[in-house]
Amino acid sequence: MSTQDQKLSLPMTILVAGSMCVLMAMGLRASMGLYLKPMSVDLGWGREVFALAMALQNLLWGVFQPFAAAAADRWGAGRVVAGGGALYFVGLYMMAEATQPAMFHLSAGLLVGMAQSGCALAVVLGAVGRTLPEDKRSMGLGVVTAAGAAGQFTVVPIGQVFLSQYGWSTSCFLLAVMALSILVCAAFLRGKPAVGTSVNQSGEAPASMGEMLRVARRHRGFWLLTAGFFVCGFHVAFIGVHMPAFLSDRGLPAQAGAWSLALIGLFNVIGSMAAGYLGGRWSKKYLLSILYTLRSIAILLFIVMPITLTSVMVFSAAMGILWLSTVPLTSGLVAQMFGTRYMGTLFAIVFLNHQIGSFLGVWLGGYFYDTYGTYDPVWWAGIVVGLLAALLHWPINEETVPEAANA
């Protein structure tokens, strides 16, 4: 193979392997909401028990993500992804055997949360972002994010079939077996990123990870981006976990929840690809402001109108377009401002706040339902914070920092 062929094949291999990894990891995660009602009823738990485990999963995913991304930035993504896939299998297997809240929190909360930090978005986006040229990067990040959406469209219906045919315990075990496919993807993500040991074109030593972290810490736009991503997590985690139960409470069939999540995933493919394409041509911060505003409008219209199968499908399609379309724009903005060498680590820090928002969205949903018998306060909170996120992104300075040239 010629050198030119190698230059072309390596990014494509990483893009395909990373996309398949994210497809499975995000698809399994999106299936968790299917188990809220059956497990809570069968085991005699309130919804807050399940919601707390999912909240811990999201929070711990965010807490461990910077460490996983830093390890991938230093030693390569393949090993980290493989570890994440193994943890996914163990966590889902233990979830299938859980009969007490403590074991459920350990398996579905701690272990699956750690697994997602190793094989879901940030690590793979960092690997893809480093290998693609600047003019293709935004689109590539959109492709990976769209793969996560495709996982929601494909894996969630499979999970519903397993659940209907075999019950929650056996279906969890079958999802654990599916998680082993992540190890196959990891084999194609081998290799280390180039470590800066030489001088750059200006004759200066490349910036270290510590130096870039200090630059980001002093950058106002970095913190505005981080604060805004909190809202994305709040929205998607609450809807992803509680939507099936919410629709069941409104008298819709159990399959409505699964198809709602699947439809979100289907239209998320379109939204993520479109965001990746538009992010390479227009201002990413303004696109993010528009997305969060549209989310608030979609939620408002959904909760003030009668809940029917038609309204659910329309809302799911609209939210799908806006679902993870924030990810290629947010990660792309990190790369644009701070370069790609430590993109995985810096995006992981932004992503931590996303997961804090996820924790609150999931847990508050369970808390308000068990306390007041309604999800309404969280729906309305989602409208307010969505508009706030739109305002936070507007003043971000998108220019590349000088230190990024030395990274």
Q: In this structure, what CATH number is given to the domain that contains residue 141?
A: 1.20.1250.20
**Is the confidence at residue 48, as pLDDT, over 50?**
yes
The pLDDT of residue 206 is: 57
Confidence of residue 198 (pLDDT cuts 50, 70, 90): very low
Q: How many domains does the chain have?
A: 1
Confidence of residue 190 (pLDDT cuts 50, 70, 90): low
Residue 406 falls inside a structural domain: no
The pLDDT of residue 99 is: 87
Residue 407 falls inside a structural domain: no
Confidence of residue 154 (pLDDT cuts 50, 70, 90): confident
Mean pLDDT of 223-230: 92
Residue 197 falls inside a structural domain: no
Find the domain containing 235 and state its range.
10-189+207-400
**Is the confidence at residue 63, as pLDDT, over 60?**
yes
Residue 198 falls inside a structural domain: no
pLDDT, one tens digit per residue, over 351-368 is 888 889 988 998 899 889
Sign of the torsion formed by the C-alpha atoms of 124, 125, 126 and 129:
positive
The pLDDT of residue 195 is: 47
pLDDT, one tens digit per residue, over 306-328 is 999 999 999 999 999 998 889 88
State how far the Cα of 111 lies from the Cα of 94, in Å rounded to an integer.
9
**Is the confidence at residue 5, as pLDDT, over 70?**
no
**33-36: long-range contacts (C-beta < 8 A, 24 or more apart)?**
33/240, 33/241, 33/242, 33/243, 33/244, 33/245, 33/257, 33/261, 34/156, 34/159, 34/160, 34/163, 34/244, 34/257, 34/258, 34/261, 35/163, 35/168, 35/172, 36/241, 36/242, 36/244, 36/245
Q: How much is the CA Rg of the chain, to the nearest whole Å?
A: 20
Q: Name the residue among 274, 296, 341 with its Cα closest to residue 70.
A: 341
Mean pLDDT of 145-161: 81
Residue 89 falls inside a structural domain: yes
Which residue's structure tokens are 């409104």? 250
**Is the confidence at residue 276, as pLDDT, over 60?**
yes
Q: Quick one: CA torsion of 156, 159, 164, 165, rounded to 10 degrees?
A: 140
Confidence of residue 155 (pLDDT cuts 50, 70, 90): confident
Mean pLDDT of 191-206: 48
Three-state secondary structure string covering the chain = CCHHHHHHHHHHHHHHHHHHHHHHHHHHHHHHHHHHHHHHHHHCCCHHHHHHHHHHHHHHHHHHHHHHHHHHHHHCHHHHHHHHHHHHHHHHHHHHHCCCHHHHHHHHHHHHHHHHHHHCHHHHHHHHHHHCCHHHHHHHHHHHHHHHHHHHHHHHHHHHHHHHHHHHHHHHHHHHHHHCHHHHHHHCCCCCCCCCCCCCCCCCCCCCHHHHHHHHHCCHHHHHHHHHHHHHHHHHHHHHHHHHHHHHHCCCCHHHHHHHHHHHHHHHHHHHHHHHHHHCCCCHHHHHHHHHHHHHHHHHHHHHCCCCHHHHHHHHHHHHHHCCCHHHHHHHHHHHHHCCCCHHHHHHHHHHHHHHHHHHHHHHHHHHHHHHCCCHHHHHHHHHHHHHHHHHHCCCCCCCCHHHHHC
State how far the Cα of 72 lies from the Cα of 61, in Å rounded to an integer.
15
The pLDDT of residue 379 is: 96
**Is the confidence at residue 80, as pLDDT, over 80?**
yes
Residue 74 falls inside a structural domain: yes
Burial of 133 (0-12, 13-18, 19+ CB in 10 A): exposed
The pLDDT of residue 6 is: 44
The pLDDT of residue 404 is: 66
State how far the Cα of 53 lies from the Cα of 41, in Å rounded to an integer.
16
Residue 200 falls inside a structural domain: no
**Is the confidence at residue 399, as pLDDT, over 80?**
yes
Q: Which two tokens stand for residue 272?
A: 């993520």
More confident residue, 230 or 151: 230
171 Cβ contact list (under 8 Å, min separation 6): 96, 159, 162, 163, 165
Backbone angles phi, psi at 339, to 5 degrees: 85, 175
**Is the confidence at residue 268, as pLDDT, over 90?**
no
When mean pLDDT is compared across 65-74, 188-197, 358-367, 388-397, the lowest value belongs to: 188-197
The pLDDT of residue 314 is: 95
The pLDDT of residue 193 is: 53
Residue 396 falls inside a structural domain: yes
pLDDT, one tens digit per residue, over 139-149 is 787 788 778 77
More confident residue, 169 or 192: 169
State how far the Cα of 145 lies from the Cα of 80, in Å rounded to an integer.
19
- Residue 403, sorted as left (phi over 0), alpha (psi -120 to 50) or beta, turns out to be alpha
Which residue's structure tokens are 């793969």? 147
**Is the confidence at residue 199, as pLDDT, over 70?**
no
The pLDDT of residue 343 is: 77
The pLDDT of residue 406 is: 54
